[in-house]
Amino acid sequence: METPRLLIADDDKKTRDFVAAFLKYKGYDVLQAFDGQDALEKLEVEDVHLVITDLMMPRVNGLEFVKKLKAMRPGTVVIAYSAFGNYEMTSNLLKAGVFFYLEKPFNLDELETHVKRGLEHQSLQSQTYRSKPALKSRSLIPNIIGESPRMLSLFELIEKVAESDSTVLIQGESGTGKELVARAVHDLGTRKNRNFVPVNCAAIPDELLESELFGHVKGSFTGAIATRIGRFEMADKGTLFLDEIGDMKPNLQVKLLRVLQNRELEPVGATRSKKVDVRIIAATNQNLEKLVASKQFREDLFYRISVIPIFIPPLRERREDIPLLVNTFLDRFNRNKKSKVKGIDADAMEILGNYDWPGNVRELENLVERLVILKGFGTLGVKDLPEKYTGVSLSAPSEALALPDAGICLNTVVEEFENNLILQALKKTGGNKKEAALLLNLKRTTLIEKLKKRKLDVISTSLA
C-alpha cells in the first residue's frame, strides 16, 4: 500500500517539528507548512491524504485555511488543534468540514489514533466517490457522462431503443453528444459485432454524397476509375449513422427514402439493385419539423426516420452534470497529456456552472483540454479561465459591432467575420485542421465543409 502522506501546518516551528518527527517515526510521509497560506500553496502542487493544522496562524488562519482547502479539495480529511478552543470555534470548524478537533496540549498517541481513523475515512470516501457515478451512469454506457435526472432517463431510453431494430432520430444542439448516443445504441444492440458506419451528410459535397452512400460502378462518372461499395454496404448487418441529415438535398432524400422502404439500393451507374440489411440512426441539430414545414425536408422521409425520436437536452438545461464532466475530462486529459492539474477551485467551478455553454459538452471538453495543456500542474482558478467565461471584457465588442446608419448585408458580414476567424485559427495551428476546429469549437468535418463551401481550402493548404 502507498505510504500515507500528511501535511502539518503550524507557525510554531518547535511544535511542527516535534509532531512531524513523531509521525515520520510512525512511518508516515510528512510535509510541513509554516502557515495556512504556505499550506495552500504546497497543496496546489502536492498530493496529500490528510492535513493537520493549528488554528492560530498569521496570514491565513486555521479556519479560513480549512474553508479554502475544502473548496479546493472537498475530500481532504483535516484534523485541527488549538490551545484556545471554545464552543463556537469548535462548531465552526465542524461546519467547515474538520474531521476531528484536539485541544492543546495533546498526547501524540491520541493524535495518531485520529490520523489512522481519518485515513480510513478518507479511503472509504474516495471509494464511494469513485463508485457513485459508475453505478448510476458509467457502468451502463461507458462514454456518456451524466448523472442529472434527464441524462439518467436518456440512458434508460438508449437501453430500450438498443434492443429494437427501429430507425432512430437523435435531435439536439451541436456538441450535445448525438454521435456518442448513436454509438451507444449500436454497441448495446444485437448488431454490435458488425460495423457502425458514420456519414456526415453536411461534410461531403452534394455531388459526391450519392456515390459515397450507395457506391458506384467503374466508369459511371468522370473519376469513377474503379467500382466502389458505398457506406450502406459497409454497414450491412450493422448500423449506418447519418449525421446532419437536415443538410441532405431533396433529390438524395428521395433516393434514401426508396432504400429505407425497399431495403435495397442501386449503386450509381448500376443496372441492378442490391439487398441491404442496415439499421439507420439519423441525427440533426436543426429543427426538422420546421424544415418539413418549409418544404426543405420531405415529410415522408421525416416520418420514416423518426420512428423513435431521442432528444438530448443542451448542457445549460442540466447544469448538475457540469462538475462531473469537468472532473472526468480533467482526469482524462491529465492522463493523455501527462499533466498534473490537481483540480479546479470552487469559484472557477461556480463560473463554469453558471455559463450557458452554447457549444455544449464539446465546448466544455475543449476548454478543459486547453486549460490542462496551458496550466500543466496545480489547481485551476478563476484567473486561468478565458475572458469569455469570466465575462471580464464584454463591453468592447459591442462598440465594434455597432450597426452603421446605412445598414449592412448581414449574411456577407457574418460570413466574412467567420472566414476571418477560421483563417486565424488555421494560421495559429500551422494549417492543422483538427487543432483549428478545436480552437473554433467545431467538428473537424464541419470545418472542412466550411472551407470547401467558401473555397478557403486552397488558402488553408498554403498555411500548412
Residue nearest to ligand ATP (CB): 177
User: What are the φ/ψ torsions at residue 94 (nearest 5 degrees)?
Assistant: -65, -40
Q: How far is the CB of 339 from ligand ATP (least distance, A)?
A: 18
Contact call for residue 418 and ligand ATP (CB under 6 A):
no
Q: How far is the CB of 366 from ligand ATP (least distance, A)?
A: 8
Contact call for residue 448 and ligand ATP (CB under 6 A):
no
Q: How far is the CB of 211 from ligand ATP (least distance, A)?
A: 23
Residues 53, 76, 285, 460: which binds ligand ATP (CB under 6 A)?
285
Residue 96 or 281 with smaller CB distance to ligand ATP: 281
Residue 62 or 172 with smaller CB distance to ligand ATP: 172
Give me the 375-394 binding string for ligand ATP, x by CB under 6 A, dash otherwise: --------------------
Q: How far is the CB of 176 from ligand ATP (least distance, A)?
A: 5
Residue 37 or 285 with smaller CB distance to ligand ATP: 285
Name the DSSP class of 134: I
Q: Where are the alpha helices (DSSP H) in 85-138?
A: 87-95, 108-133
Contact call for residue 145 and ligand ATP (CB under 6 A):
yes
Q: How far is the CB of 203 from ligand ATP (least distance, A)?
A: 10
* Cα–Cα distance, 461 to 433 (Å, whole number): 10
Q: How far is the CB of 281 from ligand ATP (least distance, A)?
A: 11
Cell of 66: 480549512
CB atoms within 10 A of CB 330: 20
Q: How far is the CB of 200 from ligand ATP (least distance, A)?
A: 7
Residues 164-193 that bind ligand ATP (CB under 6 A): 172, 174-180
Segment (H or E) for 275: strand 274-275
Residue 176 or 211 with smaller CB distance to ligand ATP: 176
> Given the rule CB under 6 A, which of 81-89, 138-146, 189-197, 287-295 is the region that contacts ligand ATP?
138-146
Residue 178 or 342 with smaller CB distance to ligand ATP: 178
Contact call for residue 146 and ligand ATP (CB under 6 A):
yes
How open is the CA angle 64-102-92, to the nearest 5 degrees?
35
Q: How far is the CB of 271 from ligand ATP (least distance, A)?
A: 36
Per-residue 3-state assignment (H helix, E strand, C coil) for 344-411: ECHHHHHHHHHCCCCCHHHHHHHHHHHHHHHHCEEEECHHHCCHHHHCCCCHHHHHHCCCCCCCCCHH
Contact call for residue 318 and ligand ATP (CB under 6 A):
no
Beta-bridge partners for 379:
343
Question: What's the chain's length in residues?
Answer: 464
The 3-state DSSP class for residue 13 equals helix
Q: How far is the CB of 147 from ligand ATP (least distance, A)?
A: 10
β 279-284/50-54 pair status: unpaired
Angle of helix 360-375 versus helix 322-337 axis, rounded to 10: 40
Residues 225-284 that bind ligand ATP (CB under 6 A): 243
* Cα–Cα distance, 62 to 58 (Å, whole number): 9
Residue 308 or 459 with smaller CB distance to ligand ATP: 308
Q: Under 8 Å CB-to-CB from 234, ≥6 apart: which residues?
A: 195, 197
Residue 318: closest CA among 176, 169, 138, 179 = 176
How many residues of this chain interact with ligand ATP, rule: CB under 6 A?
17
Residues 334-373 that bind ligand ATP (CB under 6 A): 361-362, 365
Q: How far is the CB of 362 from ligand ATP (least distance, A)?
A: 4
Whose cell is 495543456? That residue is 373
Give me the 197-216 binding string for ligand ATP, x by CB under 6 A, dash otherwise: --------------------
% helix / strand / coil in the chain, to the nearest 5?
A: 55, 15, 35
Q: Which residues bind ligand ATP (CB under 6 A)?
A: 144-146, 172, 174-180, 243, 285, 361-362, 365, 443
